[in-house]
Amino acid sequence: MTKALEGIRVLLHGRFWAGPIIGTQLGDFGAEVIRFEDPEVMDFIRDSPPFIKKGDKKIGLYYAYKDRNSKSMSLNLRKEGGKKAFKDLAKISDIIIDNHAPGVMDNWGLGYETMKEINPRLIWVAVSTYGQSGPYSAEPGYDILAQGASGLMDINGFPDGPPLRMPVGMADTLGGLCGVKGTLIALFHRERTGQGQMVDVSLFESATYPLQYAILQWTSLQEKYTRMGNKWGWGAYGPFKAKDGWLIIATALDRQWYKLCEVMGKPELAKDPKFATVEGRSYYKHGEEADNIIREWLKTRTVKETVGLLKKNRIPSAPVNDIPALVEDPQYNSRKNMFEVDYPGIGKLKIPGPVPHLSATPGALETPAPQLGEHNDYIYRELLGYNDEKIGELEREGVIVSKQAYL
């Protein structure tokens, strides 16, 4: 089966998360992703816990996830031989993902303006905290800074609590998704015009993307969107506690609320003027009272029986899964969201697979995250045509190191 991105070569340098997420997704759908690492300063994520260990072998689980479906080469860009090898690779690559701070590659004489002279079809994906321009662009940064500066943390949490960081790399992930979108748009443009371009990805701006309604609320109405915990405008729409856990009930429509009243054995509430409309069930009016009725009903009920009953009556509902429950969830598993990948010396690991699902060109997990420099021979000899003498020179210079064991 032909893969959607087969024949596209990606050169990736990324020591953390956002840039590598772009490479991961492109690789899942068939692109040849070549990761290069400075042999003196390896990818931080390689040696980040949690680890899985077998004997003297270990691998960081974050690294195992984000660097599947890729090849690894060692390449020191501070050395002249490394700069020459990078330029040689740029000539035969389609995409370069640059996860350095703005200006770093320019200082080495390897920035986009230089590279596009070598390969005008090159798509350069620059991933940074604040973007390539603006007063903050030169500042170092991480996901948590983008979450804070974007306003994302300020609206997350409960009204009487502090701003809350999303407990995952949300700005990194959103930046990676925006980076993939920009890369594919640039590829489409290149197919029509033959011309490459820069894709400027800012984690800060990516983290503002889900906040557009909150920004508009302020610019249009001068109303500040504030923390509201688990509430969302109106009652009977959120997480509720049963006797053995939590579930979601989401009656966005009046008819769903009417049906819930019937299921709870309180059909008269559907005709009660206080609750008959979404406006009446808003938290400005009687939303909390509606929630309390549901809470009382759930005190003697289990999550499983309640979700089953609600689904039978077409009332939107779901359990609040923890991660073990998610991994066993029949919906999650029926769509083949987990792949087994064999890691040498470690064994098979179950790893979340690519999304979305494509009917003609689906993604797949085919190769494990590589050892450092595992594909040096393929890249330096086969792709670049370097001979033994040239490779020996690069090894002596410190541009290349031999293949390393898993960390």
Residue positions annotated with a catalytic role: 172
Q: Determine contact, residues 146/204, Cβ cutoff 8 Å.
A: yes
CA distance 330 to 272: 38
Residue 59 DSSP symbol:
E
CA distance 206 to 210: 8
Residues 6+ apart with CB under 8 A from 240: 246, 247, 248, 249, 291, 294, 295, 298
Number of separate helices (H) and strands (E) present in the chain? 16, 13
Q: Determine contact, residues 170/145, Cβ cutoff 8 Å.
A: no
96 strand-pairing partners: 11, 124
Listed in order, strand segments (DSSP E) in 44-183 are 51-54, 57-60, 70-74, 95-98, 123-128
Go through the chain and tell me how many residues it has: 407
